[in-house]
Amino acid sequence: MNAIIELHGVGIAFDGHEVLRGIELTVTQGEIVTIMGGSGSGKSVLLRLLAGLIKPDQGEIRIDGTDIVPLSEDGMLSFRQRMGVVFQQAALFDSMTVADNIAYPLREHADLDEAAIQQRVAELLGIVGLPGIEAKYPAELSGGMRKRVGIARALALRPALVLYDEPTSGLDPGNAKMISQLIVQVAHTFGTTSIVVSHDLYWSLQISSRVAIIYQGRIIAVGTPAEIQASAIPEVQAFLAGDLH
């Protein structure tokens, strides 16, 4: 399979504090790879690096063969249209309807007439299991519904890569299950590659092709859920037991 993401020697520090160092990771097309680690381990920083929101101090970040580190802001803006990002709190525009939230990237970046945009919005709402809510506002939605609208918006431009930031955070078990299953459905239906940053151990082990564990700024283990659970690395076992913070 083609490598969609390749990280080589990636490191970054803030105010002299090294957050990530020597990060090596390859993700192939169609995989769901979940990044896990204790609080402050650097997993969310890694997601921001992949989204091009910040740049590393050293190393390469190749997405579909292109090193995004040297790209200008304009170049990164263009490149970012090929990926979708699902933010932890959905990050919907409160003053816009659901339809306008989902349509926003289409109006900004796609050459479509309004009828085609509305058709795409309806299609996306069907995919995430929320047909017919175009006229509602974010304040009228539950947390799980807002997350699903966020996923619909992330899929608007048909990205090859989707980044999920804590997709089940703050959700009850039923909604956490629904969102986790939706991530798998999206990956299988559209062939998207998915990077998930999560603290939700149960669902991460259920849905991931592979899991990467970050500890003290380094990826200390990468493997299938079964391989991670069978790992002999003490820090991995401590993380699985809830004893690694």
Average pLDDT value for the chain: 93
Q: Kindly report, residue by residue over 187-214, the tens digit of the pLDDT.
A: 999 999 999 999 899 999 999 999 999 9
Predicted pLDDT at 73: 86
What is the model's pTM? 0.92
Q: Domain limits of the chain?
A: 30-54+72-240
Q: Kindly report, residue by residue over 36-50, the tens digit of the pLDDT.
A: 998 878 899 999 999
Predicted pLDDT at 38: 84
DSSP 75-138: HHHHHHTTEEEE-TT----TTS-HHHHHHHHHHHH----HHHHHHHHHHHHHHTT-TT-TT--G
Q: Kindly report, residue by residue over 206-235, the tens digit of the pLDDT.
A: 999 999 999 999 999 999 999 999 999 999
Give the model's confidence band at 244: pLDDT under 50 very low, under 70 low, under 90 confident, else very high: low
The structure tokens listed for 40 are 């402050």
Rounded distance, CA 171 to CA 176, Å? Answer: 6
Q: Which CATH number fits domain 30-54+72-240: 3.40.50.300, 3.30.460.80, 3.20.20.60, 1.10.1760.20?
A: 3.40.50.300
Classify 98 in phi/psi space as left (phi over 0), alpha (psi -120 to 50) or beta: alpha
Q: Kindly report, residue by residue over 128-180, the tens digit of the pLDDT.
A: 999 999 999 999 999 899 999 999 999 999 999 999 999 998 889 999 999 99
Phi and psi at residue 109, to the nearest 5°: -130, -10
